[in-house]
Amino acid sequence: MIKVSVNGEIKEIEENLNVKQLIEALEYKTKGFAVAINTTFVPIAKYEQTIINNGDTIDILAPVQGG
């Protein structure tokens, strides 16, 4: 197991997960979000080839109200 930060919360996840597997493991059910790892955007096309490493900071963002 490795430790990562997901939206500010520390979580333990299995090693060698890619972004697609991480999203499934975290049970994100809805679409319409975007992912950044260590403040770098990860496009959908790169989900499967991007492996999560110990200590990574993952942000999963969705639409909200804004000015």
Partner 1 sequence: MKSEELRVKSNEWEIGGKTLKSRMLIGSALYPSPANMEEAIKESQAQIVTVALRRQSAGEGGGNNFWDIIKELNINVLPNTAGCHSAKEAITTAQMAREVFGTNWIKLEVIGDQYNLQPDPYETLKAAEVLIKDGFEVFPYTTDDLVVAKRLADVGCKILMPWGSPIGSGQGLMNPSNLKAIRKQFPELKLIVDAGIGKPSDAVEAMQLGYDGILLNSAIALAQDPVKMAQAFKYAIIAGRLGYEAGTMQKREFATPSTPTVGTPFWHQFT
Q: Cα 41 vs. chain centroid, distance in angstroms?
A: 10
Torsional class of 40: left (φ above 0), alpha (ψ -120 to 50), beta (otherwise):
beta
Task: Assess 67 for contact with partner 1 (CB under 8 A).
Answer: yes
The nearest distance, CB 48 to partner 1, in angstroms, is 16
Q: Return the range that interacts with partner 1 (CB under 8 A); candidates 13-21, 48-56, 59-67.
A: 59-67
- Of 1 and 32, CB closest to partner 1: 32
Task: Assess 29 for contact with partner 1 (CB under 8 A).
Answer: yes
The two beta strands, 9-13 and 2-6, are antiparallel
